[in-house]
Chains A and B, each alone.
Chain A
Amino acid sequence: MTPTKTKRKAKSGSTKWNPNIVVFACNWCSYAGADTAGVSRIQHEPHFRMIRVMCSGRIQPGFVLKAFERGADGVLVSGCHIGDCHYIFGNERALEQFEKTKNMVRLLGLEEGRLRLEWISAAEGARFAEVINDFTAQVRKLGPSPLNTGNGER
């Protein structure tokens, strides 16, 4: 993973730094939500890599911490809305794991704004785009992660 350090021209013509964001998405809702955004041709910020897991319950702190360790500027954890998990209670587990992750990230001294949890359904293509845009803007404001040493090494 080679984070883009060079300032690239944004569409508007202004120069902007583009973050490296890692998005974890469950197969049944959030990933499908991203797909819906795609097939509906909704424009959104493209500076993220998506990692699909079967259920948000799989997203343990180790995943998120590894992303930060390797220099991710932001991490978005996403899954089905509560009550809609394909495996019934996976996202409740995800919530517990996310709490732990958040506490670890705080202790480690990374800004809270670099980590976010969102529930996005398969139908919510527009919401997916909105969340991505909003989160990208938020991370962009924070600037590069202090752990982003530019080469993704450990």
Chain B
Amino acid sequence: MKTTSTPEIAEIADKARAWACYDCGKCTATCPIARVGGALSPRRQVLAANLGHREDIITNNALFACLTCGLCSSRCPAGVVYCELVLNLRQLAFHDGVEPECPHGGALQSMMRMMAKGKTKQDRLSWLTKDLKVQHKKGDVFYWTGCTMYYDAFFPDFNITTLDATRAAIRVLNRLGVTPVVSPDERCCGHDLLWNGDRANFELLARHNVKLVESSGAKTLVISCAECLRTWNIDYQPFFETSPPKIMHITEFMQENLDNLKFKANKEHTVTYQDPCRLGRHLGIFDPPRAILEALPDITLAEMPRSGKNSICCAGGTWSNCDRYAKHIQVDRLREAKSTGAEFLVTSCPKCQIHFACAMKDPNLHEEIEIPMRDIATLVADALAD
């Protein structure tokens, strides 16, 4: 189904401002993959794009080695939007029949493509517990669950329950008097397919999901997963027929309503915070999670040396580039988290938890890198005064 017309390389390079590059090499010096020895030079990729070397760019592994974490662009003095370049070049690659080597045998991509076909009725909401108040069709606030139910089914041996965060978010919304729409017809946002280059299936998902939220009449869309949020905030925008609802991360929503949340005293905890790349550098949401941690009684935030816009990503995004370099980055990052003395690694993206949990399974490192993880919404839900 390779129907969508694919822009040519010159156009792609132009849109990403590749022409502005002055070959300073800051990007390559910064790149976490290059740091751990991966054969990825964003500088060279930018140059190749400028020269229009289609075959070279598409077949060299660097295109799929990139984590699209955005660290390089944040340092680029010329404003080259490297992630944008990669995103569009991967579509070109897909068009030419080149795809990433998908971890887990492509199971997650198949799951997404099945949802894109959309001919089945998913069993999407059986995790909802009685205490959670939701509605299924219409309402002012739509809560976007993302695919956490699938991840928990697929990674039963990772000792994490990403659905905890989903449930916790609804619990907090309920406490604020909100009965959110949680739809059985939600489908995968298509983030990973998009970043794998499969634009056609991404568009099928985008159209369905946008229509679903539009038809709910919601004025606000609250999202927990950082990747879903980026997709809704940026990549779905052209698909709206009416004016889009206000799209907020759960931490933004909680921050806006902090005055209405009453917390009870906690046991004392030191936590450290992982900025998901989509939430932080892609969308600029650095402060709301920190404001919430600040507001929670007895929680102290011990920042990692590399945090905020300098944060290092979980190295697993888009289910396309998991290799020894990713593992290296994850292990380093977990060591960094532990070095803060924190009891918990807090994050606000289910994927960070999954990829870090995977790294922690290394049989040789155990205590060296093991640190319990929490989603920020579960901290908030647990701290709610009765």
Indicate if the CB atoms of A62 and B107 lie closer than 8 Å: yes
From 209 to 242 in chain B, residues with beta carbon under 8 angstroms from any chain A beta carbon are none
A110 neighbours in B (Cβ, 8 Å): 120
Indicate if the CB atoms of A146 and B104 lie closer than 8 Å: no
A62 neighbours in B (Cβ, 8 Å): 102, 104-107, 110
Indicate if the CB atoms of B153 and A68 lie closer than 8 Å: no
Indicate if the CB atoms of B1 and A65 lie closer than 8 Å: no
Binary flags per residue of B83-95, CB closer than 8 Å to A gives 1, else 0? 0000000000000
Indicate if the CB atoms of B105 and A63 lie closer than 8 Å: yes
* CB closest chain-A residue, reference B103: A62
A153 neighbours in B (Cβ, 8 Å): 1
**How many Cβ-Cβ contacts under 8 Å join chain A to chain B?**
70
What is the interface residue range for chain A against chain B? 20 to 34
From 70 to 117 in chain A, residues with beta carbon under 8 angstroms from any chain B beta carbon are 99-100, 103-104, 106-110
B111 neighbours in A (Cβ, 8 Å): 65, 104, 108
Indicate if the CB atoms of A109 and B121 lie closer than 8 Å: yes
B149 neighbours in A (Cβ, 8 Å): 107
A147 to B201, CA, bound (A): 14
Q: How far is the CB of A20 from chain B (nearest CB, A)?
A: 16
A149 adjacent to chain B (CB < 8 Å) = yes
From 112 to 150 in chain B, residues with beta carbon under 8 angstroms from any chain A beta carbon are 113-115, 117, 119-124, 149-150
Q: How far is the CB of B184 from chain A (nearest CB, A)?
A: 10
Q: A107-B153, A154-B113 are in contact. Are A61 and B124 (CB under 8 A)?
A: no
A110 to B117, CA, bound (A): 13
B121 neighbours in A (Cβ, 8 Å): 109
Q: How far is the CB of B353 from chain A (nearest CB, A)?
A: 18
Indicate if the CB atoms of A154 and B201 lie closer than 8 Å: yes
A66 to B102, CA, bound (A): 12
* CB closest chain-A residue, reference B106: A62
* CB closest chain-A residue, reference B198: A154
- 27 pairs of residues in contact across A and B, judged by CB atoms under 8 Å: A60-B104, A60-B105, A61-B107, A61-B154, A62-B105, A62-B110, A65-B110, A66-B105, A66-B107, A69-B114, A103-B153, A104-B111, A104-B150, A104-B154, A106-B123, A107-B123, A107-B124, A107-B149, A108-B111, A108-B120, A109-B120, A110-B120, A147-B117, A147-B119, A153-B1, A154-B1, A154-B201
- Which residues of A are in contact with B by a Cβ distance under 8 Å? 60-63, 65-66, 68-69, 99-100, 103-104, 106-110, 146-147, 149, 153-154
Given contact pairs A62-B104, A104-B107, A146-B119, a sample of 16 additional A-B residue pairs in the complex whose CB atoms are under 8 Å apart: A61-B105, A62-B105, A62-B107, A65-B107, A65-B114, A66-B107, A66-B110, A68-B114, A103-B154, A104-B153, A107-B150, A108-B120, A108-B123, A109-B121, A147-B114, A153-B1
